Structure 1
Amino acid sequence: MFISVRPQTLPGIIIAGLILVFMLAAMSALLVHSPEVSLSSLWRDPYYRHITAFSFYQALLSTLLSVGLAIPIAHALSRRYFFGKALLLKLFATTLVLPVLVGVFGLISIYGNSGLIAQLLNHFDYPLPFSIYGLNGILLAHVFFNLPFATRLLLQSLQRIPAEQHKLAAHLGIFHWHKFKLLEWPSLRQQLPNVAGLVFILCFTSFATVMALGGGPKSTTIELAIYQAIKFEFDLQSGALLALWQMFLCAGLAMFIQRFSRPVPLMNSVSRQTFILFSDNRFARCWDRFWIGAVILLVLPPLLMVIISGVNAQLLSMIFDSTFWKALGNSLFIAVCAACIALLAGIFILISSRFWRLRGLNFRADKLELVASIILVTPGIVISTGLFLLLRESSDVFSFAWLVVIAVNALMALPYVLKTLAQPMLHMAQQYDQLCASLGIFSWYRFKFIEWRAIRQPIVHAFAISFVLSVGDLSAIALFGSQDFTTLPLYLLQLLGSYQMQSAAVIALFLLILSVGTFALIEKLTLKKPA
């Protein structure tokens, strides 16, 4: 059916078309290098069968631990008020976009073979009873990153329970387990499928975590196997075949999750709570303090160790190291470019989609946003692999490394921009669309005088998320990086691989300051009134 194109929708349609062409080009390169794609042959190969089973196994265990533990922690946080709670919740918001290798380094500093726990046990002549490398480390890292994320979403779900229902439960004498079962659990249960699905996808497509803590072939996932086949073995057909297999599994998982879940509103900050009435006693206080203390012990010590370990004898030498400044400059340039592209693309796409939504064409708007979010079912390493194979046929791959890394990072950040700005832009248009039309305010003037003032904070927040995600990304640069082209995450991985722990600690500290400092600066800027 022919779709009429209005000037307001043309930029968004063009951008969505370019994204679709970009993705199809990468997929076509994969298909060309996998002429004999057979799912049965994949399953008959014991190596493919092992990495597929391990990918599902570690993702399932990570999801059960992250979401299962998030339920009592979110419940405890919803009932307790203490000094530093707001700061703790802000810290929860940054773990999702914290550079993975920063968190990994912090975990190694505590739980590694030479970490803080191992040093304490050595004083008593006890060996470390576990190894952080392998499945143990992967699960620990996934829980470290995803438990705060799941807790925050479930806490928002509990906070959406009307205060009147808490008052009614208190009036009827419903407390403790019965209140949780009858009032709070139904609210949590509505969001659990979607929260668990999001965490499962994040763990299933995890790359940097498994790469740093995998511990050998026994703990290899599909995504890591793709990287190994292309980068080290130069087995293009196996890499392409695994990339297609990864895309097939991710698409199936996404459809399965969408079928059994409801959308979760991703708020920029936790909404202000009303006082929750409940029957308090010593057991309830000890129960809540245990879970709050447990999550604090999980999240804070690794980050503190990054700070403490980063201030060492190598700090000054790394500051004067030209490789460090080159990697820092590359990271900042890539992050700024990718964030700007993702933000502009997201705004133009949402302008088109909201134009249709205001006219009741929700299905058309959904399809447009779905095309822009296709990266959610196609991990960055898969797209990078397709582009690597595509460019390899026509020119020197590494001559286009800058453009490819920026494009992949922008594409990976785009869904976060859409999630952050979709509702604010739609609500703003519902309030001011007719007023702007009557006053003749359009295009750039409308954005400058109306939209920027109304939704300035979510726009800057979307930029911050895109920037931090790009700064800490390793999936694209892992394939296209070289001695002449490196970023801070790749440099950190190289230092960890060569066991230069003090130098790696300095890089981890800079990455932590860069990511958390960006969010703190953005928050301070958005609190100021626009001129």
Structure 2
Amino acid sequence: MAAGGFALGGVLLFIGLAAGSLLAQSTGGNDAGPFLDAYIWRITRFTLLQAGLSTLFSVLLAIPVARALARQASFPGRIWMLRLLALPLGLPALVGALGLIEIWGRQGLLNRVLAAAGLEQPVSIYGLSGILIAHVFFNMPLAARLMLAGIERIPAEYWRTSANLGMSAFAIFRFIEWPVIRGLLPGIAGLVFMLCATSFTLVLTLGGGPAASTIEVAIYQALRFDFDPPRAIALAALQVALTGALLLVLKLIAPPPPEGETSGKSIRRSDGASSLSRLADRVWLVLAAGLVGLPFAAIAYAGSKADLFRLLSEPVFHRALAMSATISVLSAVISVAVTALMIRTESLALAQRRPGMTARFFAGAIGASTSFILLIPPVVLGAGWFLLLRPFGDVARFAPAVVVAINALMALPFVHRVLAPAMATHAVRTGRLAASLGIAGFQRLLWIDWPGLRKPLFVAFSFAMALSLGDLGAVALFGSQDMVTLPYLLYSRMGSYRTADAAGLALFLGLLCLVLTVLGTAGEEPEGKGA
């Protein structure tokens, strides 16, 4: 309990110091201005519109994709499909936007094909449509993987019973899969909504102008161009209020999915064996592979035309690679350790026979703290710590530690979504037995917890490391000649119009993310195999 409280205090302190340093710059007199500004209300409406539509499309597409992966558990290439769906999470937003432009842009592949059919520029990547395409590209795979993890935790006995009863595919979905998906939807939808509401690079790149600005862009403008910290804090408070209210509503929509006990037998489903089911599942998998894979193919094609040998031989590349690797490993270790500690502390607080109000509040605060980084924009955290450290001399000396901390916080919600259900299921299936046998402490960690949680821990670590590896937001404020990461180097090459080098770096970053997802899913085997 004490360790969890310490972790919670550390998260709150890191965020509070950043916000406090910004508030200390306040000159007063215009705190109420943002809420009386018609421009702010307009961008608020657009933020809610694009985030709501992006969430709706991402979740609706993720459901059939996750079900297809769960039902067709032994088709050739399934493991690579899972790794493909994990790639957008660690891909830098700027690199993903470039790949989408190669497919959906004015001179992109889709428009060239449609133009050959007699249609003139029928698709536009800029504006609301481009933002929605980009958000679905990044968030649909994440939602599908989280749903798939929930479906795969359904006990094998459920599937055996459904086969014995001769249940149809629709009945299986209604009575077995949907209760689990419905319980996962509030958390997944809330996560996707906050990612879309706080999206910055994609909106700035694909928005197409002031008409497609969001609250996050307005916060950046207030800090970067106007240097108006009170306005930025007020906008951040507005963003926190909007996303927090949505999370509360989503929390009340559906209860968390129940965790059933199981004997651990292999899963064998019968609802995906018919020709119609296989055809429908293949259609959804092909569509998902095309939506996610084509931009990666475009990045690979453009990067292959660069002088990769010269690019990878440059000393600045070696420094950037070493800095990125160090930051990503440290931030991933911190994120996974803090998240696992918080989840364990939360379960202990609620494990009492009659948990009091204090215990429930403490557990709720720990659970909510993992999503704080989605409520507090990273640009605000970075700017706050920049101002806080400036009186101590050269900020560049502290930059790596600050970037590691911000990246670790950025990964908390993703790691929590992976570890929390897995740890809850593990506790239900092993907690009573371990307690009855008197197994605790290091022995339980070595013989019970590690074998049962090794797979989700590797997945969470790879997600956190890939996310940190592709981050540009935190590094953009602190980047310098002494602190260059791969995304920062890519951004600088694009700014100097060295597009071939930028394409080569984008290809290298994509390959690194692929390696991380392969390592994170190395232990995955089709659940349907076996007796």
Tell me the TM-score range normalised by the shorter chain. 0.7 to 0.9
Native 8 Å contact 1:63 1:200 kept in 2: yes
Residues 35-81 of structure 1 show CA distances to partners (whole Å, capped at 9, x for unaligned) of 65988643431221222111111111212221223344445555556
Identical positions, percent: 38
Native 8 Å contact 1:380 1:475 kept in 2: yes
Taking a change above 3 Å as real, the CA distance of residues 296 and 205 of structure 1, as seen in their structure-2 partners, is same
Native 8 Å contact 1:250 1:378 kept in 2: no
Taking a change above 3 Å as real, the CA distance of residues 435 and 412 of structure 1, as seen in their structure-2 partners, is farther
Q: Tell me the TM-score normalised to structure 2 length.
A: 0.81
Is residue 403 of structure 2 the alignment partner of residue 405 of structure 1? yes
Taking a change above 3 Å as real, the CA distance of residues 121 and 486 of structure 1, as seen in their structure-2 partners, is farther
Residues 71-130 of structure 1 show CA distances to partners (whole Å, capped at 9, x for unaligned) of 444455555564323431342244334433333232122223343345556778965333
Native 8 Å contact 2:114 2:122 kept in 1: no
Which of residues 302, 312, 332 is equivalent to 1:339? 332
1:163 aligns to what? Answer: 159
Give secondary structure in 2 for the equivalent of 1:129: coil
2:378 aligns to what? Answer: 380
Structure 1 residue 517, shift from structure 2 partner: 0.4
The letter for the 2-side match of 1:207 is: F
Native 8 Å contact 1:354 1:426 kept in 2: no
Structure 1 residue 352, shift from structure 2 partner: 4.2
Structure 1 residue 142, shift from structure 2 partner: 0.8
1:199 aligns to what? Answer: 192
Native 8 Å contact 2:43 2:213 kept in 1: yes
CA distance in structure 1 between the aligned counterparts of 2:179 and 2:438, rounded to whole angstroms = 42
Matching of residues 466-505 of structure 1 within 5 Å: 466-505=464-503
CA distance in structure 1 between the aligned counterparts of 2:332 and 2:467, rounded to whole angstroms = 9
Native 8 Å contact 1:473 1:489 kept in 2: yes
1:295 aligns to what? Answer: 288
1:256 aligns to what? Answer: 249
Is residue 324 of structure 2 the alignment partner of residue 326 of structure 1? no
Mean CA deviation greater in 420-429 or 319-328:
420-429
Give secondary structure in 1 for the equivalent of 2:398: helix
Matching of residues 130-209 of structure 1 within 5 Å: 130-155=123-148, 160=154, 162-163=158-159, 166-167=162-163, 170=166, 188-209=181-202
Matching of residues 121-136 of structure 1 within 5 Å: 127-136=120-129
Native 8 Å contact 1:78 1:155 kept in 2: yes
Which of residues 486, 491, 513 is equivalent to 2:511? 513
CA distance in structure 2 between the aligned counterparts of 1:180 and 1:351, rounded to whole angstroms = 32
Residues 297-348 of structure 1 show CA distances to partners (whole Å, capped at 9, x for unaligned) of 1112112222232222321221123332222222112112212222333344
Structure 1 residue 279, shift from structure 2 partner: 9.2
Native 8 Å contact 2:461 2:520 kept in 1: no
Which of residues 23, 41, 47 is equivalent to 1:55? 47
Native 8 Å contact 1:194 1:261 kept in 2: no
Native 8 Å contact 1:97 1:465 kept in 2: yes
Residues 223-272 of structure 1 show CA distances to partners (whole Å, capped at 9, x for unaligned) of 12222332344343433332232233232232232232434699xxxx97
CA distance in structure 2 between the aligned counterparts of 1:261 and 1:435, rounded to whole angstroms = 36
Taking a change above 3 Å as real, the CA distance of residues 19 and 303 of structure 1, as seen in their structure-2 partners, is same
2:12 aligns to what? Answer: 20
CA distance in structure 1 between the aligned counterparts of 2:258 and 2:465, rounded to whole angstroms = 22
CA distance in structure 2 between the aligned counterparts of 1:471 and 1:382, rounded to whole angstroms = 20
The letter for the 1-side match of 2:506 is: A
Taking a change above 3 Å as real, the CA distance of residues 295 and 241 of structure 1, as seen in their structure-2 partners, is same
Residues 343-372 of structure 1 show CA distances to partners (whole Å, capped at 9, x for unaligned) of 333344455445545554562444444445
Which of residues 262, 271, 275 is equivalent to 2:269? 275
2:94 aligns to what? Answer: 101
